[in-house]
Structures are given as structure tokens and as C-alpha cells.
Amino acid sequence: MRKQIAAANWKMNLTFQQGEKLLDDILDAEVKMADHQLTIFAVPYPYLLMTRSEVETDEQNYYVAAQNCYHKKSGAYTGEVSAEMLHSINIKYCVIGHSERREYFNETNATLAEKTDLCLANFITPIFCCGEPLSIREAGKQNEYVANQLKESLFHLPAEKAATLIIAYEPIWAIGTGKTATTEQAQEMHRYLRSVLAEKYGDITASEIPILYGGSVKAGNAAELFACPDVDGGLVGGASLVAGDFIAIMKALK
């Protein structure tokens, strides 16, 4: 069975102490993950080690992710963090190509292909984000826009590597806006993305790749979204900063 995943993306929020408290509150709830379920916390770089030591224990299926890495292997790139550095502290997941990074830091499909390769070379699973802006949705061109993001950043990978990816579909018009995609919109896009993956890599590989939905996932709508057959969990911003809300989202996994 393919993985079902509740992923928290803290973005640039919370102090170290607030982050520790939030994790404590979430861990206190002792939400048990089934074998096919994972919870992942994508936290700011300075909190990675603290978070890893808090949440990564053998029995729980809780993991830590970085929110980004640089698209070069190493060198004179002051302030950047490489995939190799993340691997050296045992980080197993990294968010790649979040729309905020595409927009504010000019990340392109080509640089995201490089990041994906560096993550995979360092045994890090990319959580690859895609999603269209409102203007593209209004023009009815969302399918080709999002398919192109996958093609230009991922389709150079062989099937055995592609099978290890996690994809997050995050329509930009739904991020932080309170305007969630309807279950029909989410399922339709997720099924479409799986068909694009199947066309390239075959049905078996496509059926193994978790596709998460992101964009105003809340405690109150998570179960309905996750119940869609091609929605394999969520990448959650705002609601992941509130323990009770994120606990409810973890419990909503199928």
C-alpha cells in the first residue's frame, strides 16, 4: 500500500522554544501511525537536529524534513545548505520547489531538477512541490502547467528513482488563503498527475508515489480531502503550527 503522509511545513515560523513546545504537545498525544502512515515535520534548519532527536524513534514513523537545500554540491555559496550536509546529520526528507521558493527565490524547474538529483544522491527523499497560480487555473490550463513542472524537474529520473519520490500538489491560490481546493478539484488533479506519472513510468510506479495535497488543509477538512482515492495525505502550513489541529490532521490519514 502506498504511504499516507501528514507533513507539517512550519515555514519561517516559531522560535526554537515554541517549536520544542509544539512538538512536545504533538508527541504527548501519542498518535499511532499504521505501517503505511508517516508524519513528517519540515522545520527551519537550526531546528533539524532538535526535531530529529525528539521525533525519530523506531516505533512511530515520525520523521524530520528540511524545507530546502541548495542546487549545487558544495562550495562558495555563503548562507546555503547542501543536500550532503543534510545527509551528514541523517535527514531523510527535504521539501523541494515550494511555490514560495519558486516565487521569492526565483527557483526554476531546471534548478529543481538539480536539487532533486542531489537529494537522491544523498539518500534524501524529495517532497517535490508543484501547483498552479490562480491565473492559470482561471484559464483552465492547470493540468498542462503542473504536468510541465513534473516533466522538467523529474522526468530525467529512471523509474526506480521516481518510485521513491513524494509529490505535493499545492495550488498557489489555496496556500494560506483559507480557500481550499474542493475534494473534486483535488481528486481530479491528483488522478491526472498519477496518469502523467503512469504514462512516463508505468502504472505500478505511478501507483507507488504518494501525492499529497497542500493549501489550507485544516482539522475540519483533512478527512474529507484525504478520503479521495488519489490524495495520500497533506502538506500543511498554518494548521501545522497548532498542536490540536495538526493532531487532528494526523488522525485523518487513511
**Residues with a known catalytic role:** 98, 170
- Grid cell 516559531 is found at 14
Give whichever of 133 and 238 is closer to ligand 13P, judged by the CB atom: 238
Give whichever of 82 and 233 is closer to ligand 13P, judged by the CB atom: 233
The distance of closest approach from Cβ of residue 131 to ligand 13P in the complex, given in angstroms and rounded to an integer, is 9
Interaction site with ligand 13P (CB under 6 A): 9, 98, 170, 175-176, 214-217, 235-239
- Which residue from 182, 183, 208, 180 is spatially nearest to 194, judged by alpha carbons? 208
Q: Are 70 and 107 in contact (CB under 8 A)?
A: no
User: Whole-angstrom Cα distance, residue 226 to residue 83?
Assistant: 30
CA distances from 221 to 8, 155, 166, 195, 205 (A): 16, 32, 22, 25, 29
| H or E segment and range at residue 222 | helix 222-226
The distance of closest approach from Cβ of residue 58 to ligand 13P in the complex, given in angstroms and rounded to an integer, is 27
Give whichever of 102 and 201 is closer to ligand 13P, judged by the CB atom: 102
The distance of closest approach from Cβ of residue 50 to ligand 13P in the complex, given in angstroms and rounded to an integer, is 21
CA distances from 130 to 79, 119, 127, 208 (A): 25, 17, 10, 18
Give whichever of 170 and 230 is closer to ligand 13P, judged by the CB atom: 170
CA distances from 77 to 94, 96, 153 (A): 19, 18, 22
H and E: helices and strands count for the chain: 12, 8
The distance of closest approach from Cβ of residue 236 to ligand 13P in the complex, given in angstroms and rounded to an integer, is 5
Three-state DSSP at 65 gives strand
Q: Tell me the β-bridge partners of 93.
A: 65, 125
The distance of closest approach from Cβ of residue 76 to ligand 13P in the complex, given in angstroms and rounded to an integer, is 30
Give whichever of 166 and 236 is closer to ligand 13P, judged by the CB atom: 236
User: Whole-angstrom Cα distance, residue 97 to residue 213?
Assistant: 14
